[in-house]
Amino acid sequence: MSVQITDYRNMSLTIHLYIKNTILYDWVGTEANSLLTLDPTTNLYMPDYSDFDDELNEMGYPVPNDRGRGWVYFDYPDLTNEQTTQVTVRDSGSNVLIQNTDYVVNYAHGGIQYLAGNVPYEVDYQYNYIAVVEEWRQTNRSSLPVVVVDTGTLNKEGFQLGAGDLNINRGNVHIFASTKAERDDLLSIIHNAFHNRQLQPQDFSSGTPLDFDGTFNTGYNITTLSGALGACATHFDNVVARPLQFNMVNDVNEFRGRVQFEMRTYMN
């Protein structure tokens, strides 16, 4: 199904997925031989995520199925087609690999939807180590580390010659890390990925890579927005990264950082 999406929303999604699937593509965790049990609430065969709960998690590993995290759904650098190497499912008897035509992966919830054939028993999977979200929640927040993408204010200016608008977004990437080293790495990586860079804004009328239910969107394709001068291009300007210090220190804001940026996009 195709829907009309505003240019502002298309830009927000483009930045969000650029950070999640390109900048942080190699920030992943790996779990092997995770036993699956049927969750009656979601009707998915899921690993036991209780070991990742904050109170039990002495190593501080993030919870794989937190909001904004989930299992990896692309085989980088292919950012169009569903992964074929990130998730492996086996049965209970002979430990035989189950064909992916017999199940559907729910990447957002972190589980397997059984369709036919052998019942899923065990899974190897990779998950996104960084939770990338569009808003910060005080309750039911994702476990650290978290990156919050805020595309900020929107302003328009006309071209000096010809038709069209220059969209100017001033935004921030907020970093909530679990250690100082992690914060400094994320500040540097995201700053470098924005500084003096150009990005093609996408048109998400056919949907994002994941459907609303957390499974892969089989109709997903990459279509770039077009503007008055042809294909749109976003230029990043005034990119500044800095650590943040707070008087009231807790586990959330102890290792905070922010990357400020300005996006300039020529549109119809």
Q: Indicate the residue type of 161.
A: L
How many whole angstroms separate alpha carbon 241 and alpha carbon 258?
Answer: 6
Measured in whole angstroms, the distance separating CA 53 from the mean position of its chain's CA atoms is 21
Output the pTM of the full model: 0.89
Please give the pLDDT value at position 173.
96
Res 228 pLDDT > 60: no
> Are the beta carbons of 141 and 239 closer than 8 angstroms?
no
pLDDT of residue 127: 97
Instruction: Please check the confidence at residue 161 and state whether its pLDDT lies above 90.
Output: no
Least confident of 65-74, 164-173, 211-220: 164-173
The yes-or-no verdict on residue 230 having pLDDT over 60 is no
Q: pLDDT tens, 79-112?
A: 999 999 999 999 987 677 888 889 999 999 999 9
The pLDDT tens digits of the residues spanning 117-153 come to: 889 999 999 999 999 998 876 656 888 999 999 987 7
**C-alpha–C-alpha distance, residues 81 and 74, integer Å:** 7
- Give just the sign of the alpha carbon dihedral 96, 101, 103, 108: positive
Compute the distance between CA of residue 198 and CA of residue 111 in angstroms, rounded to an integer: 36
In angstroms, the CA 134 to CA 200 distance is 20
Q: Is the pLDDT of residue 231 over 90?
A: no
Helix (H, G, I), strand (E, B) or coil at 166: strand
| Structural domains of the chain sorted by starting position, each given as residue range(s) with its CATH number in brackets | 1-24+130-268 (3.30.2000), 27-129 (no CATH)
pLDDT at 78 over 90: yes
Split at pLDDT 50, 70, 90, the class of 115 is very high
Residues for the chain: how many in total?
A: 268
Is 172 or 229 the better-scoring residue by pLDDT? 172
Helices (H), the chain: 7-18, 180-194
Tell me what percent of the residues of the chain surpass a pLDDT of 70: 87
Count helices and strands in the chain by DSSP H and E runs: 2, 15
